[in-house]
C-alpha cells in the first residue's frame, strides 16, 4: 500500500476500489505507460496483503492500444461509461483458479433465454396491495434485514444498517416496496459522479413476493430518476447462472456487454456476473 500512496495517491484516492470481500480490486484510471510497471507491481503487492486475486481495469478506447494491457483478459464493455465514452473491462487474474467458469452451458442458456424477452417501453404496473416509495435513514434497519434474508453473502455490507445509511448520503438512490407495512423488496441506482454513470444494484425481493414485477417497477422509476439527473449510462451486473435479473435488464432495454468471471461474492460464493448497460444519452 505504501508504494501506491507514495507514487499514485490520486489514483488510490479517486479511481480505485479495494474490495477484499469479493477478492478484487477495481481500477478506473491508469497512469502514464512508463509508470505502468511500478503501478502493477504496487497493485499486486496490495492484492496479496488484501487477499485479492483479481485486478479489474476500466479503460478508454484510447488506452486499449497500450502495450501493458496485452496480457490482460478483455471481459466486456459498457458504452458511455466515462461521461459518454465507452469503457472496456480488462482483468488480470493473479491465480489460475480464479479464471474458471463453473457451468458454461447454463450461462449460455441464461443469455439465450434472456435474449428472447421482448423489450418493453413505458412503466411497469405495481400490484394493488403493494406500495413503492423512497426510503429514509429510518428504514435502514428493516432494509438490512431484507438483504440478510435474501442473500447469504453480498458484495457490499448491505446487512449493516450503518452502511446503508452511509451510502444513502452518497448518491445511492434506493427504492423500497412495502406489503402490509413491511419492506419486502428494494433496489438502488448507485451514481458514480466522476463518470456520470450509475449502477443498478442492490436488487432483492422476499421469495414469497417474487414473480410480481416488483423489481421491474422499481427499475422503471429509477431509470426515469437517472434521466432527470442527466446520467449518461446505466449499467448492471447480473448473476450469470440466475435468469431473474438478466430478464429484467433486457425487459428495460439494456444491452449485454460481456461476462466477468468469478467476480462477486454473492449467496456464499464467488459468482460470474453478466454485464448489462443502457445509454440514456449520447450527446
Same domain, yes or no: 41 and 169: no
Task: Please indicate, yes or no, whether residues 54 and 187 belong to a single structural domain of this protein.
Answer: no
Mean pLDDT over all residues of the chain? Answer: 94
Query: What's the predicted TM-score (pTM) here?
Result: 0.94
Is the pLDDT assigned to residue 6 strictly greater than 80? no
Q: Is residue 158 part of a domain?
A: yes
Please name which of 225, 272, 265, 283 lies closest in space to residue 89, comparing C-alpha atoms. 272
The dihedrals phi and psi of 262, each to the nearest 5 degrees, come to 40, 65
Containing structural domain, residue 35: 2-94
Nearest C-alpha neighbor of 71 from the set 46, 99, 48: 99
Q: What's the structural domain count of the chain?
A: 2
Q: Are residues 76 and 112 in the same domain?
A: no
Chain position carrying cell 424477452 = 117
Judgement on whether residues 152 and 115 belong to the same structural domain of the protein: yes
Of 12-16, 149-153, 175-179, 233-237, the one with minimum mean pLDDT is 12-16
How many whole angstroms separate alpha carbon 283 and alpha carbon 281? 6
- On whether both 209 and 136 belong to a single domain, the answer is yes
Any idea how long the chain is? 283
Task: Answer yes or no: do 27 and 69 share one domain.
Answer: yes
Same domain, 118 and 71: no
Q: Is pLDDT above 90 for 121?
A: no
Rounded-to-integer distance, Cα 8 and Cα 34, Å: 13
Q: Is residue 123 over pLDDT 70?
A: no
Q: Which of 106-120, 203-217, 235-249, 259-273 has the lowest mean pLDDT?
A: 106-120
CA distance 180 to 41: 55
Residue 99 lies in a domain: no
Instruction: Kindly report the CATH number assigned to the domain that includes residue 42.
Output: 3.40.630.30
**Where a domain ends, among 61, 94, 127?**
94
Q: Are residues 10 and 119 in the same domain?
A: no
pLDDT at res. 118 = 79
Distance between CA 180 and CA 208 in Å, rounded? Answer: 14
Residue 135's pLDDT band (boundaries 50, 70, 90)? Answer: very high
Amino acid at each position: 500500500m505504501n508504494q501506491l500512496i507514495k507514487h499514485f495517491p490520486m489514483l488510490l484516492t479517486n479511481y480505485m476500489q479495494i474490495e477484499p470481500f469479493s477478492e478484487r480490486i477495481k481500477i478506473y484510471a491508469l497512469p502514464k505507460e512508463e509508470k505502468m510497471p511500478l503501478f502493477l507491481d504496487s497493485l499486486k503487492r496490495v492484492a496479496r496483503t488484501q487477499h485479492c486475486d483479481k485486478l479489474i481495469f476500466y479503460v478508454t478506447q484510447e488506452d486499449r492500444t497500450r502495450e501493458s494491457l496485452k496480457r490482460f483478459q478483455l471481459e466486456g464493455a459498457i458504452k458511455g461509461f466515462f461521461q459518454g465514452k465507452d469503457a472496456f473491462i480488462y482483468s488480470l487474474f493473479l491465480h489460475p483458479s480464479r479464471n474458471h467458469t463453473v457451468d458454461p452451458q447454463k450461462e449460455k442458456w441464461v443469455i439465450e433465454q434472456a435474449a428472447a424477452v421482448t423489450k418493453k417501453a413505458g412503466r411497469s404496473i405495481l400490484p394493488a396491495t403493494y406500495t413503492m416509495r423512497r426510503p429514509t435513514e429510518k428504514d435502514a434497519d428493516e432494509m438490512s434485514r431484507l438483504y440478510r434474508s435474501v442473500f447469504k453473502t453480498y458484495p457490499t455490507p448491505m446487512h449493516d444498517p450503518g452502511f446503508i445509511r452511509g451510502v444513502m448520503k452518497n448518491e445511492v438512490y434506493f427504492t423500497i416496496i412495502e406489503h402490509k407495512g413491511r419492506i419486502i423488496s428494494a433496489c438502488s441506482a448507485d451514481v458514480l459522479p466522476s463518470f456520470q454513470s450509475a449502477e443498478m444494484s442492490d436488487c432483492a425481493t422476499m421469495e414469497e413476493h417474487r414473480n410480481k414485477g416488483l423489481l421491474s417497477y422499481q427499475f422503471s422509476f429509477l431509470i426515469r430518476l437517472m434521466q432527470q439527473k442527466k446520467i449518461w449510462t446505466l449499467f448492471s451486473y447480473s448473476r450469470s447462472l440466475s435468469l431473474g435479473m438478466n430478464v429484467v435488464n433486457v425487459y428495460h432495454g439494456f444491452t449485454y456487454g460481456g461476462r466477468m468471471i468469478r467476480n462477486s461474492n454473492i449467496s456464499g460464493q464467488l459468482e460470474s456476473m453478466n454485464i448489462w448497460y443502457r445509454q440514456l444519452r449520447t450527446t
